[in-house]
């Protein structure tokens, strides 16, 4: 997010525009928490995770009163256009707000879940996957040396994106994801069969929205009598130094968002699709994304 903020601020200033940073997203618009951002205000943030503007899930914005207060702030500060940096929740809210108040608005897609439709990748998803991948690589050392089973819970309340990517990239045996029904007995059965053939360790990745690692680990131990440990990676996946891919994407899309607004575009998200810079209607962007779940899921199982 910080790389995107830096890009929007500096490119907009280069284009002779004035920029305000809104604290905590929609909350800041409702509560009039915004301040001018100059070139210097975004120095030294390109390598930091999170966002200098802070972010929050804002329930007040869901009701009409909250939206009206946000619009009042926009009028009071004579704001001509908005750049919304966020995920599907932010985009849904932006689309609704645009339909009602017609404030020009462009979305920059940021989410670890890569769940914005119509584009290849969200800012931050590459960073999150690499963080989880490194953690699992480390866990594998114990799994192999101590001949254990590990169940690793990764983020993804509604999305199996991180789980599938890391299960494939870390050579894990199984991915349990919200998009697919799973049969724990079948998984346990294959562990027992593998163990009889001499296999000594397993890493099973579970997305938090599909099951709890603790529950899966307990049931595996009960069924197989093999030593199983549960690990929850949690919010470490949501922070840390952004990868080169996440930064480059953020810096590119920051510029694009400003250019789109200058060209009079609105109610759209910017992104990269098949190597090209594109815009997607916010309504389309918030539809369910095809994450090639079946292809990845099957490949994980074939390569085990």
Question: What residues are labeled active site?
Answer: 113
For residue 85, state whether it binds ligand F6P (rule: CB under 6 A): no
For residue 233, state whether it binds ligand F6P (rule: CB under 6 A): no
Binding residues with ligand F6P: total (CB under 6 A) = 8
* Only segment of 33-41, 141-149, 150-158, 165-173 that touches ligand F6P (CB under 6 A): 150-158
For residue 153, state whether it binds ligand F6P (rule: CB under 6 A): no
Choosing from 84, 208, 267, 268, the residue that interacts with ligand F6P (CB under 6 A) is 208
Residue 157 beta carbon to ligand F6P: minimum distance, rounded to whole angstroms:
3
For residue 210, state whether it binds ligand F6P (rule: CB under 6 A): no
For residue 156, state whether it binds ligand F6P (rule: CB under 6 A): yes
2-14 and 244-262 helices cross at what angle (nearest 10)?
40
Residue 119 beta carbon to ligand F6P: minimum distance, rounded to whole angstroms:
16
Cβ proximity to ligand F6P: between 122 and 224 the closer is 122
Contact set for ligand F6P, span 241-280 (CB under 6 A): none
Cβ proximity to ligand F6P: between 28 and 191 the closer is 28
Choosing from 1, 81, 112, 280, the residue that interacts with ligand F6P (CB under 6 A) is 112
Residue 262 beta carbon to ligand F6P: minimum distance, rounded to whole angstroms:
30
For residue 155, state whether it binds ligand F6P (rule: CB under 6 A): yes
CA angle 59, 65, 66 (to 5 degrees): 40
Cβ proximity to ligand F6P: between 66 and 87 the closer is 87
Separation between Cα atoms, residue 220 and residue 4, nearest integer Å: 43
**Residue partners of 70: CB distance under 8 A and separation at least 6:** 26, 29, 30, 61, 97
For residue 179, state whether it binds ligand F6P (rule: CB under 6 A): no
For residue 84, state whether it binds ligand F6P (rule: CB under 6 A): no
Contact set for ligand F6P, span 113-142 (CB under 6 A): 113
Cβ proximity to ligand F6P: between 12 and 167 the closer is 167
For residue 87, state whether it binds ligand F6P (rule: CB under 6 A): yes
Residue 208 beta carbon to ligand F6P: minimum distance, rounded to whole angstroms:
6
Cβ proximity to ligand F6P: between 22 and 132 the closer is 132
Choosing from 39, 75, 100, 157, the residue that interacts with ligand F6P (CB under 6 A) is 157
Strand order in the sheet with 276-281: 82-86, 105-109, 268-273, 276-281
Q: Report the 10 Å Cβ neighbour count for 97.
A: 23
For residue 206, state whether it binds ligand F6P (rule: CB under 6 A): no
Residues that bind ligand F6P (CB under 6 A): 87, 111-113, 155-157, 208
């Amino acid at each position: 997010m910080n790389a995107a903020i830096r890009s929007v601020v500096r490119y907009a200033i280069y284009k002779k525009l004035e920029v305000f940073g809104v604290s905590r997203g929609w909350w800041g618009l409702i509560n009039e928490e915004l301040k001018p951002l100059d070139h210097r205000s975004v120095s030294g943030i390109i390598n930091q995770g999170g966002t200098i503007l802070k972010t929050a899930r804002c329930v007040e914005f869901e009701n009409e009163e909250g939206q009206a207060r946000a619009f009042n702030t926009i009028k009071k500060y004579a704001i001509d256009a908005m750049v919304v940096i966020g995920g599907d929740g932010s985009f849904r809210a932006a689309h609704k707000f645009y339909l009602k108040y017609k404030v020009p608005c462009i979305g920059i897609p940021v989410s670890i879940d890569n769940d914005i439709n119509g584009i290849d990748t969200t800012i931050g998803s590459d960073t999150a996957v690499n963080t989880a991948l490194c953690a699992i690589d480390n866990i594998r050392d114990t799994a192999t040396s101590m001949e254990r089973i590990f169940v690793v819970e990764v983020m993804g309340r509604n999305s199996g994106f991180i789980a599938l990517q890391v299960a494939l990239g870390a050579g894990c045996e199984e991915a349990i994801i919200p998009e697919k029904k799973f049969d724990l007995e079948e998984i346990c059965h294959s562990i027992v069969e593998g163990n009889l053939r001499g296999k000594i360790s397993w890493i099973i990745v579970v997305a938090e929205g599909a099951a709890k690692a603790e529950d899966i680990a307990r049931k595996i131990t009960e069924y197989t009598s093999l030593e199983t440990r549960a690990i929850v990676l949690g919010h470490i996946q949501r922070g840390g130094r952004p990868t080169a891919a996440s930064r480059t994407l953020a810096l590119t899309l920051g510029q694009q968002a400003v250019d789109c607004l200058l060209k009079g575009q609105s109610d759209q998200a910017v992104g990269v699709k098949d190597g090209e810079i594109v815009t997607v209607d916010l309504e389309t962007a918030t539809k369910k994304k095809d994450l090639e779940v079946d292809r990845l899921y099957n490949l994980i199982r074939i390569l085990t």
